[in-house]
Amino acid sequence: MHYGPQGCEEPDVVGVDSLRAAFDAETVSWIDVQGFGDRSVMREIGAMFDLHPLLLEDVVNVPQRPKTESYGDHLLIVVRMVSLDDETRIEMEQVSMILSKHYLITFQERYGDVLDPVRRRIRSGKGMIRKLGSDYLAYAIADTIIDGYYPALESIGDRLESLESEVIYNPSPEVLAELNAMKNQLINLRRAIWPQREAVNSLVRGDHAVISKDVGVYLRDTYDHCVQTSEVAEMYREMVTGLMNTYLSAIANRTNEVMKVLTIMASIFIPLTFMAGIYGMNFEHMPELHYRWAYPSLVIAMTVTAAGMLIYFYRKGWIGMRTRD
């Protein structure tokens, strides 16, 4: 996992001693350490490249905030890499880069990353990656990592869109739970993106001698991507918050609908039942019971009452509203 600018060698270094052997101060070397299995390896690398103990601590104690810190002739860049699990779950992993004139060391929490396109570009020798220094390599890695946020955001955007009509026309606790989960994901993403933006900006401003001016122009592009991702994340968060309020409104709407049905049914039949109840009484002296047309009259009275209620509700717009829109 280490390359030289003219040619390109990739010794698969395992121990620290073999690393020392493979290291060559003339070329640009990329040392990629995946997984923190063995602390002693860390310490040996630290000793070999003369790294500050605080720097090593920041590398190992994850999660750190994304940041750029200058330690004399080398620079610590901490970024957060996002990868998308197949189940739309968003995984985050810290990548720490130690950038010096002649080498770039990257530390990753776990095996597996999104950096294969960078490796391919180095191997193929196409583009400028082999011609420019370690700072361009750092840019290429940072840019690839930032670009990894787009698929994650897109997957959130897709789910948001599909939830929108669900929320209005079919709200359920599951939808609410999913909105909550999305909101927490977005809060997390924002926490990763914002300091990254600051870190990249400090690189662009040219505060650090290790970054050449040419690469600065490229980093400006990376900064733009940071800003864009942070804005999209912010926008989605606002939309999720909006949907949660919409959810509440939609539920209130449904309760209102349910209430209307209940009220209409109850308001029509309760008076009628009462009228039937009257003539179900067993008083000895109820003259109406013996009238010939009493029953048909009552039926007519009931029909009129029911129709009156229906007209009243129709006037209020509780019945037939649907067809009006």
**In terms of Cα–Cα distance, which of 194, 193, 191, 186 is closest to 236?**
186
192 within 8 A of 155, measured Cβ to Cβ: no
By beta-carbon proximity to a copy of itself, the closer residue of 209 and 217 is: 217
Residues 265, 301, 304, 307: which binds a copy of itself (CB under 8 A)? 265
Is 6 among the residues that bind a copy of itself (CB under 8 A)? no
- With the CA atoms of 298, 301, 307 and 311 taken in that order, what torsion angle do they form, in degrees rounded to the nearest 10? -150
Which region among 97-105, 130-138, 151-159, 248-256 touches a copy of itself (by CB under 8 A)?
Answer: 248-256
Residues 231, 300, 308, 311: which binds a copy of itself (CB under 8 A)? 231
Residues 286, 301, 304, 307: which binds a copy of itself (CB under 8 A)? 286
Is 284 among the residues that bind a copy of itself (CB under 8 A)? yes
Give the Cα separation of 185 and 189 in Å (integer): 6
Which region among 9-17, 96-104, 115-123, 286-294 touches a copy of itself (by CB under 8 A)?
Answer: 286-294
By beta-carbon proximity to a copy of itself, the closer residue of 21 and 259 is: 259
By beta-carbon proximity to a copy of itself, the closer residue of 19 and 141 is: 141
State phi, psi for 145 to the nearest 5 degrees. -65, -45
Which region among 4-12, 83-91, 133-141, 230-238 touches a copy of itself (by CB under 8 A)?
Answer: 230-238
Is 266 among the residues that bind a copy of itself (CB under 8 A)? yes
140-179: contacts with a copy of itself (CB under 8 A): 164-165, 168-174, 176-177
213 membership: H or E segment, kind and range: helix 213-278
CB of 157 to a copy of itself, least distance (A): 11
226 within 8 A of 146, measured Cβ to Cβ: yes
> Between 302 and 321, how does the x/- string for binding to a copy of itself read (CB under 8 A)?
---------------xx--x
By beta-carbon proximity to a copy of itself, the closer residue of 209 and 259 is: 259
State phi, psi for 212 to the nearest 5 degrees. -80, 165
Strand order in the sheet with 103-108: 29-34, 103-108, 90-99, 74-84, 67-71
By beta-carbon proximity to a copy of itself, the closer residue of 34 and 228 is: 228
Give the Cα separation of 143 and 228 in Å (integer): 13
8 within 8 A of 24, measured Cβ to Cβ: no
Give the Cα separation of 204 and 206 in Å (integer): 5
Residues 7, 37, 280, 320: which binds a copy of itself (CB under 8 A)? 280
By beta-carbon proximity to a copy of itself, the closer residue of 31 and 42 is: 42
Q: What 3-state DSSP class applies to 255?
A: helix
By beta-carbon proximity to a copy of itself, the closer residue of 8 and 306 is: 306
**In terms of Cα–Cα distance, which of 217, 313, 210 is closest to 267?**
313
35-74: contacts with a copy of itself (CB under 8 A): 52, 54, 57-58, 64-65, 67, 69
Is 235 among the residues that bind a copy of itself (CB under 8 A)? yes
Q: What 3-state DSSP class applies to 188?
A: helix
Residues 121, 159, 183, 208: which binds a copy of itself (CB under 8 A)? 183
Cβ-count burial of 183 within 10 angstroms (0-12 exposed, 13-18 middle, 19+ buried)? Answer: middle
Is 295 among the residues that bind a copy of itself (CB under 8 A)? yes
Give the Cα separation of 246 and 171 in Å (integer): 10
